[in-house]
Structure 1
Amino acid sequence: MNITDKIYQNRKLETWVENKTSHTLNSAEMHIFETHQTEKNFLLKFRHPVLATMFEGKKVMHLRGMDSFDFLPGESLILPANELMTVDFPEASLDTPTKCLAMTISEEMIRKTIDDMNERRAKIDGEWEFKDYNFHFTNDMAIQQIIERLLFLFTENHRSKDIFADFMLRELVIRILQAETRSQLVNDSKSLATNNRLAFIVDYIRQNLDKNLTIKELSNKAYMSESHFYRVFKNELNLSPIDFINNERIKLATELLRDPKKQIKEIYMECGFNSPSYFNRIFKRVELISPSEYKMRFMKE
């Protein structure tokens, strides 16, 4: 993600560690941080819920109740208000500064968006809410594009930019809610399966990737009509059932391709694809390279 010169037009370099450039709108503040030297145990917190996104370099994050983890470009982190972060900067230098964005969003905006989702797009089991505010994830294309659009809006000289930004912020909150729900259903599908119909379906899909899975079969297992099942699944996971199945099959394929004893012609069948051409097409769409290129690259590495 490129940060334009316009972002830095009023920038002052006052410190080598987490030097801040800020822009403010009615419902959010955007802070761009730069660090120009290695540092350990830097403390930071915000008075409002914050979305942190990495642009360049690497941080090591230490958060309450979590193991330490690397925070890398293309990744984001949601934190509640007044959450204390302890941050290491192992690779920052004058030539290669670490850069990140921290966008604070008003709690009123977040709460109103969640209330609207529960009223208009309710979950089938449970309610929309941030289950784990310390949610660390890789940006999908939609979230990445919203962040880039907000970078532009914060510095645009337009009398209606607060209105534009409010629409974008609401969409951002919704997409992050869906991303967190998808993460929970995938990572905890077994433990949630007894009380959550979608978790049961996710677990069933992952246990039967080699079989011919249909919307009709899955909707029957969820005790829903096909059309209702499709709407509920896409509402909560922000993916159609078919796209989810294909993504899970490609995850399995990437694991199998690392086995030097396995041939591609047997891998696509183990993953539930009914033709090598369809397997190649879906694999390339997800991984951006062909299965044979992936296997060759992994073997070289």
Structure 2
Amino acid sequence: MKSKIYLKEKATHGTALIPIAIHHLSYEEGIDNFFYLHWHYEFEFVFVEEGAMVYTIEDKEYCIMAGEGLFIHSNKLHSARSLNGMKCEACVVLFHPNLFDNNNQGATYSKFIYPILNGEMEFKIHFKCEEKWQQEVMNIIREMDDFKYESFSENELLLKSKLFQVWHLCYKNSITVTSQGRKNRNYKLERMEPVLDYIHKNYKEEISLINLANILPMSEGQFCHSFKDVMNISPIAYVIRYRILQSCTLLTETDWKIADIARNVGFNNISYFNREFIKAIGCSPSKYRTET
């Protein structure tokens, strides 16, 4: 998605020598959105100390209660909001993949980082108290929260050792995606490419489910199941999300009226566009334009 680049977080996390950032989030009761839809190259671990947070990662929602945690993969679109306006305290630790090996061809990177980045292995996303190793991960993240006001350079070895512990626990308990599984997914994705190409070229026009299903061709029910299996989102929801991301480009690159932008990306109803934009991005189009 070309427009995804406009949702890249502009903040710098850490330094080239110590690519780590620790943030303590504290939100009073009644605050709705914590942060808008964005992505970054860094991996991210979250531990909720009090209250609850609802994270959206790509198109899946995770309700993280107090005492639970979350892993957010590199380059994944994500946003966070409160659960029913509850007060919330949380610790967020971000770190670049290069933390483990500045040489991307090195043995450590090749064995422990690259398989995660390219989808050969998958980490647990939602950490609960059900297993001891998940509790250990959350305890370490909670411990790292104490370093937020300390000198990272003076505690460099300790910080890195804690993240190595976290990665070790996640890696040890990761799921290996079989070569056959990857082949099947690649085949399914290749099969969907004509549909995705059609959406990307015609998103400004009216697109119906039957139009998309006929491209392969499949029945509407079979097509919906196959599309969601590959993209983790329904076909129509994907169309809407793609239109919203295109609108982000126009909001940041033009001075067009928001109503004109909505029509340009395929929305005939400005109210509907506003609702879908807020749902996807986490703020109104006008606020997105002024704050990005």
Q: The TM-score by the shorter chain falls in which range?
A: 0.3 to 0.5
**Normalising by the residue count of structure 1, what TM-score does the alignment of the two structures yield?**
0.45
**Normalising by the residue count of structure 2, what TM-score does the alignment of the two structures yield?**
0.46
More relative contact order, 1 or 2 (CA 8 Å, 6+ apart): 2
Q: Which has the larger radius of gyration?
A: 1
